[in-house]
Amino acid sequence: MRAKTGSIEDKVQRLRELEANAPAALLADYNYRFDMSWIHHDNAIEGVVYEPGELVAAFQDQPVTDTALMPVFDEIRQYKAAINLIRELATAKKKAEISLDTIKTIYATLAPEDADPKGPIKYRKDMPLHRVYFHEISTPEKIVPQMRTLLQWLSSEEIKRTTHPTRIAAKAHSQFLHIFPLPKHSGKVARLLMNLLLMREGYPPAILHSTDRQRYYEALKTSPDAVAAVINEALDNAIESATRYWQRQLGVADRSAL
């Protein structure tokens, strides 16, 4: 196996150069399929597997003939809307601080039935006995102060100055999942928040592959450093995979092989 070379910034720069030379139609097709893969793997992490036909039908807004599939299509479309949201936030000319409103907006996009535009964000009020994740989570009375601490940490100028962006994103994700603040979708919101932090610094999203599910769960039970290792590997794999794809499509030589 060839060793990976170069810093992550070098790799991202190379990927962006390739993307800049890609035809618009090919880039649009890639993003379309990438988003379907993103939704498939992120939901599979939580034990929900969407069939390819379900993803295509939901993406193309095909009419639902089987009423039993309506909730599935709604979930897929809501997740796609959440991806669109974080892309919009990541590319905004002015980078707004991550706030409770940011978290609330992401959550409301995933779960519009729980949205209250005028009210405060609704936190979890119990300790669920049956849940996907098995790491320790905060008791309800600790959620408010711990969320406040997390958001203050994210807005700290010293942290931004002294901590690598990928480390900030990974730690924010880990802390959010240990607080587990929301009645549902805490895992999805944690990973969307992480990818918002990555994307607004110019990195591609780090998508955890469904095959990494157990390793991810074990990392959450182990330490923030263990979670960061899983996230960093996912990000590196995403960059390498996208780079190889565009090299093939554009007929460009792999520099690292030279």
CATH number at residue 104: 1.10.3290.10
pLDDT at 223: 92
pLDDT tens digits, 94-133: 888 899 999 999 999 999 988 787 788 999 999 987 678 8
Domain hosting residue 179, numbered range: 8-117+129-253
Q: How far apart are CA 201 and CA 178, in angstroms?
A: 24
At residue 255 the predicted structure's pLDDT band, cuts being 50, 70 and 90, is low
pLDDT tens digits, 43-90: 999 999 999 999 999 999 888 777 778 899 999 999 999 999 999 999
3 belongs to a structural domain: no
122 belongs to a structural domain: no
Q: How many domains does the chain have?
A: 1
Contact 229, 219 (CB under 8 A): yes
199 belongs to a structural domain: yes
Handedness of CA 51, 176, 110, 192 (dihedral sign): negative
Residue in the block written with tokens 């978290």:
103
2 belongs to a structural domain: no
Dig out the tokens for 22 from the structure: 């890609």
Q: Report, as an integer, the average pLDDT of 229-256.
A: 90
124 belongs to a structural domain: no
